[in-house]
Amino acid sequence: MNIVTPRDAFLAAFSLHPAGVAVVTAVLNDGTPVGFTATSLASFSAEPPRATVNIARHASSYPALTVGAPALVHFLAENQVDVARVMAGNHAQRFDGDHWSPDEAGLPRIRDVRALLTGRVVSVTEFGDNATVIIEVEDGSTATDCAPLVYVERRFHSVGDVLPG
Amino acid sequence: MNIVTPRDAFLAAFSLHPAGVAVVTAVLNDGTPVGFTATSLASFSAEPPRATVNIARHASSYPALTVGAPALVHFLAENQVDVARVMAGNHAQRFDGDHWSPDEAGLPRIRDVRALLTGRVVSVTEFGDNATVIIEVEDGSTATDCAPLVYVERRFHSVGDVLPG
Q: Give A69-123 as a 3 state SS string.
A: CEEEEEECEHHHHHHHHHCCCCHHHCCCCCCEEECCCCCEEECCCCEEEEEEEEE
Q: What is the pLDDT of residue B4?
A: 78
**Contact between chains at A18 and B143 (C-beta distance less than 8 A):** no
A64 to chain B, minimum CA–CA distance in Å? 19
Span B72-114, pLDDT tens digits: 999 999 999 999 999 999 999 999 999 999 999 999 999 999 9
Domain ranges of chain B: 19-152
Q: Which residue of B has its CA nearest to A146?
A: B16
Span A27-86, pLDDT tens digits: 999 999 999 999 999 999 999 999 999 999 999 999 999 999 999 999 999 999 999 999
**Contact between chains at A7 and B127 (C-beta distance less than 8 A):** no
Q: What is the pLDDT of residue A8?
A: 96
**Contact between chains at B130 and A46 (C-beta distance less than 8 A):** no
**Contact between chains at A17 and B20 (C-beta distance less than 8 A):** yes
Span A102-146, pLDDT tens digits: 999 999 999 999 999 999 999 999 999 999 999 999 999 999 889
The CATH number, out of the four listed (3.90.700.10, 3.40.470.10, 2.30.110.10, 1.10.3090.10), of the domain defined by the range A6-157: 2.30.110.10
Q: Average pLDDT for residues B4-9, to the nearest whole number?
A: 93
B160: which chain A residues are within 8 Å (Cβ-Cβ)? 150, 157-161
Give me the CATH topology for the region B19-152: Pnp Oxidase; Chain A (2.30.110)
Mutate to test the interface with B, among A39, A136, A163 (most CBs of B within 10 A): A163
Distances (CA, A) of B132 to A127, A128, B145, B165: 12, 15, 32, 34
Q: Which residues pair with A132 in a beta bridge?
A: A54, A125
Residue B61 has pLDDT above 90, yes or no: yes
The ipTM value here is: 0.96
**Closest C-alpha among B44, B38, B107, B58 to residue A130:** B44
B154 to chain A, minimum CA–CA distance in Å? 10
B41: which chain A residues are within 8 Å (Cβ-Cβ)? 17, 42
Q: What is the pLDDT of residue B22?
A: 98
